Structures are given as C-alpha cells and as structure tokens.
Amino acid sequence: MDTLGTGEADDGRVRVTAVAGRIDAVRLDPWVMRQDGATLGRHVREAANAALDAAPAGTSAGADPAAIVDRLTEVRDQAARGMERVTRSMDEAMARIAEQTGIQGDPGPYGLEQLLDETIRDVAELFAPGPPAEPPAVDGVSVDVHGGRLGRVDIDPSAMRLPSVDLAERIAAAANGALSTGSPPSAVDPGTFARRVRRMQDQSLEHMRVYSASLAAIMASPHGPDDDGGVHDGR
C-alpha cells in the first residue's frame, strides 16, 4: 500500500498530501488568500515538497536502461580483453606455423569491438526518453519541477481572487501536470526491442562466420599441410 505523505507550511494554513510522488490534495485556509501570490507560492512549495519527500514515487520494476548500458559496456570490455588474448595466441601460433609450412594469414577478429559499440549505442538509443512534454496549462498557476520536487510555484494575482478551494484544486492540477512531464519515462515498444535484439544476434553470428571462414581460408592455402601430415612445397 502506498504511503501518504503530509506537508505543512505557514503555521498549518497550507497543507498538502502526496501519494507515490504525486500530489493527492492541497488544502488552503481561507486566510491565506489575503497574501500575495509569490508568498503563497513559497508556502505551497514548502508544504508540497515535504509531502513528496515523505511519499516518493515507487521504483519501477522494469528494466533500468542505465544498468543495461553499464552491463553491456562491461561485456564489451571483457570481450575486448578476451579477444586480445586470443588474437595474441593466434598470432604466436600462426608465426610458428609459418616457420614450418609457409602458411601466411591474419585471422584477427576485426569488427568485434565495433559491433559491441554499436550494440551499446542501439540499446541506449532504444531506451532514451523523448523530449519532455509540455505540462497541461492551468489557468493562473504555473509550476516547475526539478528531480521530482517542486522548484517554483507561480500564482497569478487573478487566481488569488478565486475561492481557496478552487485555487487549491488548480495548484494540485498544475503540480501533478508538471510532475508527470518533468521526468518522462522511456517507452520501449516490445516489437522494436525484439527486432533490435535479433539484429544484434544476426550480426554476431555473421561476424563469427567471417572469422571462421578466415581461419579456414588460411589453413586451406596452397602451402598448407598435406593430408598425411606432410607439407606442400608449392611445386
């Protein structure tokens, strides 16, 4: 069950409740309508942020894009180090074979690191949020949000002539509109994600096919070993 957060300001004349990172209700004592909009805005911000701090938005159970990119970066670095060791061993083996058989070739796994870099970029692009949407307009009230907290609450003088209940509803609507657009979630289409994953898999398989074909071509060169273990002399 979500926690209900409560915040107060101006000796309890401004009271805000919040649930799961959103404003639940704003209550204004009619006396505060004697204040100017800037003063009331500061009190609303103070009370709202106290309520939001007590009832933060829950953590999404979905995939964390940053964690996925970080993990892929680790995999890329580990693969690069592993391939470097394999390539070094292959170079040493090819040098020994060349001394004995005259076989020449370069089986280096070119393109692997680039493929992994492209994969990381694809995932980062896939999960990247779009441009933040404009919060819905609320007549007479404007709210800025930073990091899930209210940064500024501007109340137009004309709104200060409203009944306190009506102004409270407008403040809550403006705050929630800004909170919903301040940190737009990533919308990942499952079909798009599946296609990207298949493309990455196909590219990886193609890379390994080319690498294997390169090794096979070297070993099948005219100066390669005979079936009986002998060595072609090229004549």
Domain spans of the chain, in order of start: 4-60+138-182, 65-128+188-219
Q: What is the phi-psi region of residue 3: left when phi exceeds 0, alpha when psi lies from -120 to 50, beta otherwise?
A: beta
Nearest to 166 by CA among 180, 155, 178, 153: 155
Per-residue pLDDT, 148: 85
pLDDT averaged over the chain?
Answer: 75
The string over 126-149, giving b where at least 16 C-beta atoms fall within 10 Å of a residue's C-beta and e elsewhere, is bbeeeeeeebeebebbebebeeeb
Tell which wins on pLDDT, 90 or 14. Answer: 14
List the structure tokens of 3.
Answer: 């926690």
Strands 4-9 and 14-19: antiparallel
Hey, which residues does 144 pair with through a beta bridge?
152
| Whether residue 207 has pLDDT greater than 70 | no
Per-residue pLDDT, 129: 58
Hey, which residues does 16 pair with through a beta bridge?
7, 26
| Whether residue 227 has pLDDT greater than 50 | no
Q: How confident is residue 230, by pLDDT bands cut at 50, 70 and 90?
A: very low
Tell which wins on pLDDT, 11 or 59. Answer: 11
Entry pTM: 0.51
| Whether residue 145 has pLDDT greater than 80 | yes
Region 55-76: what's the mean pLDDT? 65
Compute the distance between CA of residue 171 and CA of residue 140 in angstroms, rounded to an integer: 9
Per-residue pLDDT, 48: 96
| Whether residue 176 has pLDDT greater than 60 | yes
Compute the distance between CA of residue 34 and CA of residue 15 in angstroms, rounded to an integer: 17
| Whether residue 132 has pLDDT greater than 80 | no
**Who contacts 16 (Cβ-Cβ below 8 Å, separation ≥6)?**
6, 7, 8, 23, 25, 26, 27, 44, 47, 48, 50, 51
Tell which wins on pLDDT, 73 or 35. Answer: 35
